[in-house]
Chains A and B, each alone.
Chain A
Amino acid sequence: MPEITSPPQSDGVQPDRVADDPVTARVRDAGSGLTALLAEAEAARHQRAESAQEEAQDGGTAVCAWNHFENIPTFYNWNNRPR
């Protein structure tokens, strides 16, 4: 499927996403495959011991957790991240 190039017009309310946006529809369309992928990612995260609790206890890994965006302030954050 090609990427989405014609977004809907804003309704002026300014939510964090455009209402009923096509990206949401695209994600839902891939829901079955995503659900399996998400389950594998969750298992991998446990294998890597990326839980906030363990992170706090040993403080010894290079970074990261599923919630690293909020909790681990580095270049590995997502938004506005420096390169």
Chain B
Amino acid sequence: MKGVSATPSYVVMQPTTLCNLDCAYCYLPFRKDDKRMPVAVSAAVAEAVAPWSRTQRFSIVWHGGEPLAAGRDHLAALFAPFGPAVEHHIQTNATLIDDAWCDFFQAHDVRVSVSVDGPEHRNGERVTRGHRPAYDRIARGIRVLRRRDIPFSALCVVGRPEPGLATELYDYFLDLGCEVLGINVEEQEGVNERTNRHPAADVTAFWSELVAAWRRDPRIHLREIEWSLRYAAAVLDGNADAVLPRRLDPIPTVAHDGSVVLLSPELAGFHDPRYGDFTSGNVLTTPLAQILAGAAGTPWIAEFLEGVEACRRTCPYFGFCGGAHAANRYFEHGRFDVTETDHCRNSKIRLLEGVLDHARDHEPTAV
């Protein structure tokens, strides 16, 4: 893996900056403001991605803010310029989901992912703008999805790994009925300045316990476990070098105003005296393909690529991870050419170690 690909596999779009919730760990700035994406922005992106969607599976991921806060009519107008080969995904807090939204999802073949942190008492960070618990609203929206037989994925934020939590969470998501689950250990990034440093043993034990819980009933496609096993299988097969892609996916994030931030959506909306606003261009004035072709010319990206090479040289987990994420480098260390982050430790290194601990401790019994 070397450098940034000129062709993404998906684009993140921000239909509005607004979120109707005010979660304590959220990294997004401007989430109290309703800055909506003009249709001209989505039209420009649609024109750019059309050729890519003809040659590969291609997605638009509608993120936010809360994308449903843009309203059905506006979201439909933003969808309209895209051709039928483009998949639409929505990451939502689920609080606004009702039958009308389900009709919308089905009409546009939208793949839905909800954000929920486990059972009610684990959702204390997820609150309304009035700082009231949001769980009832989240659960209500998910119940509507289930009643309508709309499959969904889930993303769960873990603030503090502790014994028993992994089992509790996995059992919850089994009961919730999601098909796919991603576990995000809370990160120090964006406007969330809370530390994400945890005792190593606690984090490793969390992942190890999660493997055990999943193994008892592996109905859910669990992102972290599947990827760890994929890497382990490749190592055992002697082809671990083939696991990482040849080039990094640029993952363009197109903000409400058409500005483009590459590699880490968490950088959108921020400014640094040294790096400027982290943008690489604006789709209203420059074709997205042209922005991507010049990605390495964005100063922070050039520095980030040096950081990736430093990870390759110094970290034995590189073949598993591919290098620390740009936003984690910046928000934890203030620059991009550093290497290991707390996010690396929590969500890459200790993840793999936890999976391997489980495997080591559960060898088949000889007969």
Contact = CB atoms under 8 A, between A and B. Distances in A.
Does A pair with B?
A: yes
B253 A82 contact: yes
A66 B315 CA distance: 26
Contacts of A18: 312-313, 315-316, 318
B358 interface: yes
A24 B243 CA distance: 13
Interface in B215-239: 215, 218-219, 221, 223, 225-227, 229-233, 235-236
A15 B241 contact: yes
A67 B351 CA distance: 19
B119 to A, nearest CB: 21
B10 A80 contact: no
A47 interface: yes
A25 B235 CA distance: 9
Given A3-B350, A77-B9, A38 B233 contact: yes
B142 to A, nearest CB: 13
B87 to A, nearest CB: 8
A82 B353 CA distance: 23
B153 interface: yes
Interface in A1-25: 1-4, 7-8, 10, 14-18, 21-24
Given A34-B359, A82-B264, A41 B314 contact: no
A28 B227 contact: no
A62 B113 contact: yes
A59 B316 CA distance: 37
B236 A34 contact: yes
Contacts of B179: 48, 61-64
A54 interface: no
B221 A33 contact: no
A82 B318 contact: no
B12 interface: yes
Contact of A33 (B243, B322, B359): B359
B204 to A, nearest CB: 7
B232 A38 contact: yes
Nearest to A36: B364
Interface stretch (B58-66, B166-174, B278-286): B58-66
A8 B312 contact: no
Interface string B288-326: 000000000000000000000100111111111110011
A36 B61 contact: no
A83 B184 contact: yes
B321 to A, nearest CB: 8
Contact of B359 (A37, A64, A66, A73): A37
Q: Which of A2, A45, A78 has the most CB of B within 10 A?
A: A78
30 contacts: A3-B349, A18-B318, A21-B319, A23-B235, A23-B316, A23-B319, A24-B240, A31-B236, A33-B359, A33-B362, A34-B229, A35-B236, A37-B358, A40-B218, A50-B221, A59-B109, A61-B179, A69-B227, A73-B8, A73-B59, A74-B10, A74-B111, A76-B113, A77-B9, A80-B249, A80-B251, A82-B61, A82-B63, A82-B253, A83-B157
Interface of A: 1-4, 7-8, 10, 14-18, 21-24, 26-38, 40-41, 44-45, 47-48, 50, 59-64, 66, 68-83
Given A37-B211, A83-B266, 15 more contacts: A2-B200, A16-B319, A18-B316, A21-B316, A33-B361, A37-B215, A41-B218, A63-B179, A69-B230, A73-B9, A78-B223, A78-B322, A79-B248, A80-B263, A80-B322
